[in-house]
Chains A and B, each alone.
Chain A
Amino acid sequence: MSLKNYTLFLADTSLILGQRLGEWCGHGPVLEQDIALTNIALDYVGRARLLYQYVSELDANGKSEDNYAMMREEREFKNLLLVEHPNIDFGFTVARQFLIDAFFVPYLEELSKSKNERLSHIADKALKESQYHLRWSSEWMIRLGDGTEESHKRIQSAVNSLWEFSGELFSPVPYEKEMLLEGIAPDVENILTRWNQSVNSVFSEATIIKPKDSWFQKGGKEGVHTEHLGYILSDMQYLQRTYPGQDW
């Protein structure tokens, strides 16, 4: 059960982030970056599919990847709160991406050494994608932070608003702890050190001030979400809910 929940946490996080990034397609600030954002979205949707397929094998009940994506409710989704945050503007999207990329690069590196072969294999593939994403989001953090007065203000305020969702990355819930004990999930304590290094170095080059750690929002990993998720799901699941049991 813990393995399934843990895999769902990874899958849901990927899907919801992919869904959010997909909203940009056709609305990017410049054509070249529209394409770049969609590439990242596609990586995440692809990642989610591999993970749901694994969950489906664990369940061995013949359910497809879409069953997990389209037929579960808010309380069953285990994604991080950070990824359901609305895009707001390019600055928010970049900041959200950077906080998550700086996490995923060391995290996937560790996960690729997991005792669970399937997850290790998926992590291996995902790592290469995230390394590129991190490069993209770090550079944009720096461009926006050390760009114009307006861009600096915007990216700083995005970081300030998103900061309260960053703590959830590093507070393991019971299924994660169990997976850690079994040598399947990485130890987020170690990831935190490396995450801080990336954040400090990019923030300093971007002249962004790191917000003070005060209160961190939590709950996503256990299915207690912000109000945004319900809307994401009602959009995403609309066809499968309206016409249940059909092939598309």
Chain B
Amino acid sequence: MMDRELKNLEFQSRIDRDEKIEAKDWMPEEYRKTLIRQIGQHAHSEIVGMLPEGNWITRAPSLRRKAILLSKVQDEAGHGLYLYSAAETLGIERDTMIEELHSGKAKYSSIFNYPTISWADMGAIGWLVDGAAIVNQVALCRTSYGPYSRSMVKICKEESFHQRQGFEIMLQLCKGSSEQKAMAQDALNRWWWPSLMMFGPSDKDSPNTAQSMAWRVKRFTNDELRQKFVDMTVPQAEILGITIPDEKLKWNDEKGQYDFGEINWEEFYSVVKGNGPCNKQRIHARKKAHEEGQWVRDAALAHAEKRSKKIA
């Protein structure tokens, strides 16, 4: 047997014993690449995800909401940072990842390519988008790569307030005037399907899933997680008294879960390819911030060098 094959087998048996893999451990090149891609994508999603909500910080309807929204969007920056840190342990620099985001080589969650056009969208994002993200992330807390798993644990702990504040916004609107309730319903109509799309392509069209599951990078398939999210969310919509925009949504007694309609996969792939309503604006905003920050980053470094020379 070749040395490499032997190593691969040994690696797989470590995974099968549920051992965590740490940064300096030997790992198959493909495992490393998969992780860099997945963690990077995850980090980018946090950072790009700041934009649609950041859009409402100056317009939050009360000071309490403004403070909550600020700290929530700030958490996303923090989470992006934890994740970039985790990816950096695999030997890639944050700047390289950022370049890949800007050039379009790296992806991020398509949900953030939808516009936030009313205050209720802050509610819907917290409730549905963070809700979906939590389902995903709780599963990832047990991922096989140590630094990734530890970041996920920290993120899950911090994110638990995100979904609650979103639901609270929705609840307040649903208890409010007819205009407010209509605002909430409209937001649910627009965010429901994109939220389901967050779990990625259906298992039969997800070629990477099998390997990721074997490596325990992923612990559940896309469809399993999507189902879990639907089952969790339908009763919450009932509490709010608003209607999920899916005529096929129905409790299935036999399966003990909800049946739901087919996702518009054409829309899904078209947004992934860059044709969503805000793909261009999002990347433009990120690039602008990065480019306009260049002189600041340069200045800090230049000053640090001057100072260390003075001391030396």
Contact = CB atoms under 8 A, between A and B. Distances in A.
Partners in one complex: yes
B295 A148 contact: yes
A30 interface: yes
B194 interface: no
A90 B176 contact: no
Contact of A65 (B63, B74, B306): B63
Contact of A147 (B47, B179, B302): B302
A236 B293 contact: no
B67 A49 contact: yes
Given A27-B285, A148-B302, A248-B119, A22 B66 contact: yes
A24 B63 CA distance: 17
- Judged by DSSP, the binding face of B is helix
Contact of B296 (A15, A30, A38, A70): A30
B256 interface: no
B298 A147 contact: yes
Interface stretch (A98-106, A130-138, A156-164, A238-246): A238-246
Interface in A28-66: 28-35, 38-39, 41-42, 45-46, 48-49, 52, 65-66
A27 B71 CA distance: 15
B122 to A, nearest CB: 10
Contacts of A144: 296, 299, 303
Given A143-B300, A248-B119, A235 B58 contact: yes
Contacts of B302: 147-148, 151
B86 to A, nearest CB: 14
Interface size, B (range): 35 or more
B63 A19 contact: no
A84 to B, nearest CB: 13
Contacts of B172: 247-248
Contacts of B303: 142-144, 146-147
Interface size, A (range): 35 or more
Given A142-B303, A147-B303, A42 B70 contact: yes
10 A-B pairs closest in CB distance: A29-B293, A147-B299, A151-B299, A26-B54, A26-B50, A248-B61, A239-B61, A29-B296, A38-B74, A143-B303
6 contacts: A26-B50, A38-B73, A49-B64, A147-B298, A151-B298, A248-B169
Interface of B: 47, 50-51, 54, 57-67, 70-71, 73-74, 77-78, 80-81, 84, 119, 169, 172-173, 175-177, 179-180, 285, 288-289, 292-300, 302-304, 306
Given A29-B296, A30-B293, A247-B172, 11 more contacts: A18-B66, A22-B70, A29-B292, A29-B294, A29-B297, A30-B296, A31-B84, A35-B78, A66-B62, A69-B63, A142-B303
